[in-house]
Every structure is written in C-alpha cells, then in structure tokens.
C-alpha cells in the first residue's frame, strides 16, 4: 500500500489538459440486468423511467452553450446507470453527442453482445467496464474486453468482495491476459456505497493497491487519470484515486473544489448536481430551470467517497 502522503496544499491532474474538461456523469436511468448484493436497489431496480430523448438532447445543447462556447471547455459525457447500454436508442444518443463535438464514454457491466459493442466502439472515446463476479458471464466478458481494448482505451474495474477475494483476484488476472491493452483496477467496495469500506483484511487491503496490468497508455484519450498531491513547497506526488480512497486520504472538507466546473452529475430523476457527492445541492433539473456553475465551491463533505469526485481539482482554501 502507498505510504501516507505529506500534508497537501492542492490536488491537481497529473495531465494538465484534464483540467480543461468538464466530465458529465450522466445517469440515464436506474434499470440494470444485474442486481449485485453490494449495490443499492436504487441503482438497479428500474424504479425511475428512462429519461426522455428530447430532454437528453435539450440538455446536451445547454452543455454545449455553457461549457464549450461559454467557458471554452471540452465536454465529455460519461453515461452511467443502471446499465446505460440498455437505454432505448443508446447508439442514437451517442450519435447526437458526437454531432455536438462532445467526447464520450460509458460505464457498463459489459453484458451486451459483441455485435452491440462493435457498433458502439465507433462512437466511444473510451469505455469503463465493471466486472461483477456474481452475475458476469466470464467467457463473454473476456471477449468484450478483447474487442474493446483493440479499438479504444479500456479500463476495467473488478469489484472485490472480501468473501470471494482470491477467486475474483484470479479472474482479474485472466482479464489482464485477455486484454493486455486495458488498465485494470481492483475496486474496493463501500458499505451501502457510503464512505466506509467493506471489512477487508490487511493482506487484502495491500492487494487492492497492486497494479494488475500495465499503466494506461499515456497517449490514450481519457477524461480523467492520475492525480497529484501538491505539498506546500510545490513538490508533487502522483496518486491513483483508488489508492487515496483505500489509504483514507480522501478528506478535503473546506477546500475549494472545481465541482461544477470540471464535473457535473445528472441523476436518473433529472436532478442536476455539481458532482456525484451533491456538494452545493441541486442546481437544476432536466426540462426545467438550471443554473450551470462558472466557479469553484467550498467542499462541505467530510470525505470524498466517489472516484469520479476524487478526480476533480481541489486546493486548500486560504
């Protein structure tokens, strides 16, 4: 496991270009063909209808006007769920996004057919697959990883349940062999998707910080990557988001955070937030009033529990 970092004055992107991107974490609905034991029902039970296509396209136009034209930022849509690839007309939605010059990726369980992924790969700039051993068809998942890793930057999160840790770790190794071009993270589980980790042994915690695959290709197009903790003397140390989470170094309450400028969260319900954590509260909703941010906000959260939120620039407030 990584050593505890020195007191920091800022958290910044190791790749400076990422600071010029607004990553929109867009939850199109909460229906999923998996129902993992560690996943809250609200993220898979289909209780919220899929968002209307006309509302999705209207919000894309707002994002283009505010971030791309107004702030000069690249807009990156990251579609999530539920299982976003189940959204009716998902390929058409991606085509609308591409027509506006947006970059885009998808966070998926990878369960769709190879035929689907061959078509989708032409519209994606990267993909994030999550391996859930409770439901995944392992052989089919390997085939999807092979296909995507040959065509675009692929990251695979392998969810690590402590009760099945060794078996899942072996599966992660098989994914690495099948898709040597992919980056792979052993993803720690949080109780109820909150801030507390599952009860991992010290040996398991140490393994969670191990690298399963090679480092991502530095030329790859990605919305976010490694962060740097910057000390008061200006020296910086690189950290992966999961390592900060496992080490408990994810507390920036009172800092200035670029949530809302570098990030946006669209919930399945249509509510829009600055970030997944919800700091600053609801700023609007799809099809209704919406005030998009132009400046950073002071963090009000005791901890930063979501990887997407850790990967946002922050600085200690003066």
3-state secondary structure 179-221: CCCCEEEEEECEHHHCCCECCCCHHHHHHHCCCCCCCCCCCCC
Which pLDDT belongs to residue 313?
A: 97
Dihedral in degrees, nearest 10, Cα atoms 127, 133, 137, 138: 80
pTM: 0.89
Which pLDDT belongs to residue 209?
A: 81
Nearest Cα to 74, choosing from 38, 107, 100?
Answer: 100
Q: Which residues contact residue 171 at a Cβ distance below 8 angstroms, ignoring those fewer than 6 apart?
A: 131, 133, 138, 158
Which pLDDT belongs to residue 247?
A: 85
Distance CA 107, CA 82 (A): 9
- Segments of the chain scoring below 70 in pLDDT: 1-6, 214-222
Which pLDDT belongs to residue 212?
A: 84
Q: Where are the beta strands (DSSP E) in the chain?
A: 8-13, 21-27, 74-80, 103-108, 126-131, 154-160, 183-188, 227-231, 236-239, 256-257, 263-266, 271-273, 284-285, 297-298, 314-315
CA torsion through residues 23, 28, 33, 38, sign: positive
Which pLDDT belongs to residue 219?
A: 44
Distance CA 97, CA 39 (A): 29
Which pLDDT belongs to residue 1?
A: 44
């Amino acid at each position: 496991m990584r050593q505890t970092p020195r007191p920091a004055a800022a958290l910044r992107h190791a790749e400076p270009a990422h600071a010029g991107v607004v990553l929109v974490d867009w939850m199109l609905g909460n229906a999923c063909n998996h129902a993992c034991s560690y996943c809250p029902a609200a993220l898979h039970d289909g209780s919220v209808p899929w968002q209307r296509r006309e509302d999705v396209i209207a919000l894309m136009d707002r994002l283009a006007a505010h971030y791309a034209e107004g702030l000069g930022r690249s807009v990156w849509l990251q579609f999530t769920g539920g299982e976003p690839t189940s959204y009716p007309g998902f390929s058409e939605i991606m085509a609308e996004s591409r027509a506006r010059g947006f970059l885009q990726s998808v966070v998926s369980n990878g369960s769709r057919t190879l035929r689907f992924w061959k078509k989708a790969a032409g519209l994606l700039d990267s993909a994030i697959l999550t391996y859930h051993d409770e439901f995944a068809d392992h052989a089919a998942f390997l085939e999807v990883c092979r296909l995507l890793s040959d065509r675009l930057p692929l990251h695979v999160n392998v969810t690590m349940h402590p009760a099945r840790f060794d078996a899942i770790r072996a599966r992660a190794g098989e994914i690495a062999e099948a898709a040597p071009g992919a980056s792979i993270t052993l993803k720690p589980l949080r109780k109820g998707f909150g801030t507390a980790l599952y009860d991992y042994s010290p040996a398991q915690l140490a393994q969670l910080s191990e690298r399963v695959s090679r480092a991502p290709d530095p030329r790859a197009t990605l919305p976010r990557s490694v962060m740097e903790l910057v000390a008061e003397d200006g020296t910086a140390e690189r950290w992966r988001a999961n390592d900060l989470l496992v080490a408990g170094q994810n507390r920036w309450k009172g800092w200035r955070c670029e949530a809302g400028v570098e990030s946006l969260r669209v919930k399945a319900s249509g509510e829009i937030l600055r970030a997944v954590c919800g700091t600053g509260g609801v700023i609007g909703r799809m099809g209704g009033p919406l005030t998009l941010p132009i400046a950073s906000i002071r963090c009000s959260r005791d901890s930063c529990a979501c990887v997407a939120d850790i990967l946002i620039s922050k600085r200690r407030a003066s």
